[in-house]
Copies of this chain bind each other. A is one copy, B any other.
């Protein structure tokens, strides 16, 4: 039996909004330690990893590890019916082919039960080893989202270059070229407004803006985003979920040195 009660139900709504456009169907894995998901996007280019730790739930009962295959669009449709202040409880049973989302309004005057059919989904769980990164950039999530959106109006890919002074986002397209430089800045009123750069060696990598733009749908979950870059590894774009866990997006850099030379 499974019963996970999340007082701040809007978190789960935001999680679904963050991943439903990237991933169609996925298994949610429940264990004693938490509620998690790992899934490739539908074009098998990007990887999403979600963790909501059990401690973050008001009540967390999971008698036996359980994997529940869900269509994320249908799940998002149901969660849209929860009020932003509602408490959400996820209920499941071992043998059952359904999961139930219960929404309680703050005054307890309105109680909703949404029952969704589960799916059988084949999936392999990839082990993601902890890694050393050449550079880690933490910046306001709204700023990162704005930059990815702005550059998309000019080009299709972005080169992210990190030096000690700052991080540069560059693109090029038919109508011209653009460079946006964000300087390291830690003297801010609110810590989440800071742009902080930890760098072991300079790095410059190219990514498809389409995917980065998808990742930024997680911005409502956290005021800051952490971008971990290394020339031999996929970038990790991480949004922390306060006191509960995270959403991490992984994306391999584009190898296009020849193209770059031809262009320049």
Contact = CB atoms under 8 A, between A and B. Distances in A.
A113 B81 CA distance: 43
B71 A175 contact: yes
Contact of A109 (B98, B175, B179, B195): B195
A123 interface: no
Contacts of A182: 109-110
A78 B113 contact: no
B178 A110 contact: no
Contact of A77 (B77, B109, B154): B154
Contacts of A117: 175-176
Interface in A103-129: 107-117
Number of copies: 3
A142 to B, nearest CB: 11
B110 A181 contact: yes
Contact of A178 (B78, B150, B151, B178): B78
A110 B179 contact: no
A177 B109 contact: no
Interface string A122-151: 000000000000000000000100000011
Interface string A171-213: 0000111111111010000000001000000000000000000
Interface residues on A, range: 20 to 34
Contacts of A181: 110-112
B80 A180 contact: no
Given A80-B150, A107-B185, A154-B77, A176 B115 contact: yes
A153 interface: yes
A60 to B, nearest CB: 23
A113 B178 CA distance: 6
A224 to B, nearest CB: 14
Contact of A115 (B77, B98, B113, B177): B177
B150 A81 contact: yes
11 contacts: A77-B154, A77-B175, A78-B154, A81-B151, A81-B153, A98-B176, A109-B185, A112-B181, A113-B179, A115-B177, A116-B175
